[in-house]
Amino acid sequence: AATSANTNRFMQGLLEVAAGTGSSPVGFSTTAYNLNPAEIIIGANAIQLVRGGLYRFTLSLNVEFLLAAVPASLPLLTVSLNAGSSTFRPVIKQPMILRGGSTYHAYSVTEFEIYIPDNTTISIGKSLSFAGSPTSITFDGILAGHLVAE
């Protein structure tokens, strides 16, 4: 019997360097691989999954930001997966760690499975909760995904 290869696999770099925290999706950088560009359409900050099904995602995220002054409580990082009109949150929710001066850092790796309907656009949402004004924020990491079952 012939075996069928699952070519619905991708790994996308994440990178955003900005001032302000905004709730806009995290921007994308280099695509490490996309084995099926006809069914996985990668844009500037979103991915359209043409074929629906159960997808397994791995999200690795490194966040660092600099505040003008140290706040009274640790900043909180919340990361969600937006899929069409649905938001799956939080896939990451953790306090950030003070690294020195007023520079905060968070690193997280998580895996999760979610059913994605046909022709759904996904993106990575972010939120930082803290008191103060950031002078710079950097989000970087990867989002990898593959179709587990239709």
> pLDDT tens-digit profile of 115-134?
999 999 999 988 888 777 77
C-alpha distance from residue 79 to each of 7, 118, 144 (Å): 27, 23, 15
Residue 53 · residue 115 · CB < 8 Å:
yes
> pLDDT tens-digit profile of 74-83?
888 889 999 9
For the record, the structure tokens of 124 come out as: 């990575």
Question: What was the pLDDT predicted at 50?
Answer: 97
Tell me the CA end-to-end span of the chain in Å, nearest whole number.
20
Query: Residue 101 in 3-state DSSP?
Result: coil
Q: Which residue has better confidence, 140 or 134?
A: 140
> pLDDT tens-digit profile of 15-27?
988 765 555 678 8
Mean residue pLDDT of the chain comes to 87
Among the listed ranges 11-20, 98-107, 126-135, which one has the minimum average pLDDT value? 126-135
Tell which residue, 34, 31, 28, 14, has the closest CA to residue 141.
Answer: 14
Provide the β-strand partners of residue 146.
9, 56
On whether the pTM is more than 0.85, the answer is yes
- Give the list of residues 6+ apart from residue 60 with CB closer than 8 angstroms, or none: 108, 109, 141, 142
Q: Which residue has better confidence, 21 or 112?
A: 112
Question: What was the pLDDT predicted at 128?
Answer: 81
State the pLDDT confidence band at 31, using cuts at 50, 70 and 90: very high
Cα–Cα dist 65/105, whole Å: 7
User: Is a pLDDT exceeding 50 seen at residue 34?
Assistant: yes
State the pLDDT confidence band at 2, using cuts at 50, 70 and 90: very low
Cα–Cα dist 21/127, whole Å: 7
Question: What was the pLDDT predicted at 69?
Answer: 78
For the record, the structure tokens of 96 come out as: 């950030």
For the record, the structure tokens of 53 come out as: 């099904």
Average pLDDT over residues 127-148: 86
